[in-house]
Amino acid sequence: MALNNSVNHQVTQYNTLTGAASNLINNVSPGQAGWVLTSNGLSAQPSYQPVPNGGGGVPIYTFISSLDFTNTTTMDFINIDNTYSQLRFILGNGGMGLASGSTLQMRVSTDNGATFIASGYQCQGSEVLSTSGTPTPSTWIKADFDNSSTGINLFLASGANLYQGIIDVFSPATADNLVTFEYDIYNQGGGTSKNGRLAGLGYYSVPADVNAIRFVAGANFTSGTIYMYGVS
C-alpha cells in the first residue's frame, strides 16, 4: 500500500492452506508453481495438488550430451539412457556444414555402438527449396526423397549450406514398439546457394531396445554441433 503519498510499501505473502473434507491439509507456499485445483472424486472436495512435469503436462527436456561436427563422416551417441520414451536431437551452433551431394542418414544400435544396423529402415521425406539464393515465389520447387533401407534419410546436401533443425526419435528403449523418427530441418544457403525446408518420417522395422544412434554422411562434416535431449 502507499502511505502518506509515498511509493514505499511492504508486501506480506501468506501460505495458502487447501484440502479436501476427508484429506490432509496442503500447505502451498508463495511462489509455488505447478499446482492446480484437482478433483478428489465424487465423495470429496477438490484440493490443490502438484501437476506432473511441473504444470500442465508440459514435456521436460533434459540435456544429455552434445557432439561437435569436425572432419569426420560419422558422429555417434552411445550408452543412451533407456529411461526416456523420446529423444530430441537439435542441429545448432550455427548449423551443420556438409559438402554438396552428400546424404545424411541416422542409424541405430542395440549393442551400445559396437555395431550400427544398416538395413531394415523405411523412410519418406520431402523438401521445399529455392533454386536461387534469393527466394521468390517463382523459384520455389518441391522434391521428394527416395526411401532407403540402409538408414533414415534426412537430406541430400545441396550447395554450401548450413543445416539447422530438430529430429525426434520415439520409443528408443521399448522393445515391443518400432523406433520411429520425425524431422524438420531448414537449410540456409549463402550467396547463390539454395534455401529450403526439409521434413519427413521413418522407422526401424524391427522392434528393439536402441541404446546408440549414429549420424553418417557421404562426406566429412565441416561445422556445427548436435545436441541430444531426453524427453519426459
Instruction: Identify the band that residue 158 occupies on the pLDDT scale cut at 50, 70 and 90.
Output: low
Pairing of strands 221-231, 152-156: unpaired
- Most confident of the ranges 25-39, 108-122, 212-226: 108-122
> Mean pLDDT across the stretch 108-125?
91
The runs of H, that is alpha helices, within 88-232 are: none
> Rounded distance, CA 167 to CA 178, Å?
16
Give the architecture-level CATH label for domain 61-231: Sandwich (2.60)
Of the ranges 15-24, 104-113, 183-192, which is most confident? 104-113
DSSP character at residue 125: E
How far CA 139 is from CA of 102, 189, 190, in Å, comes to: 23, 14, 16
Where do the structural domains in the chain lie, given as residue ranges? 16-54, 61-231
> pTM of the predicted model, to two decimals?
0.70
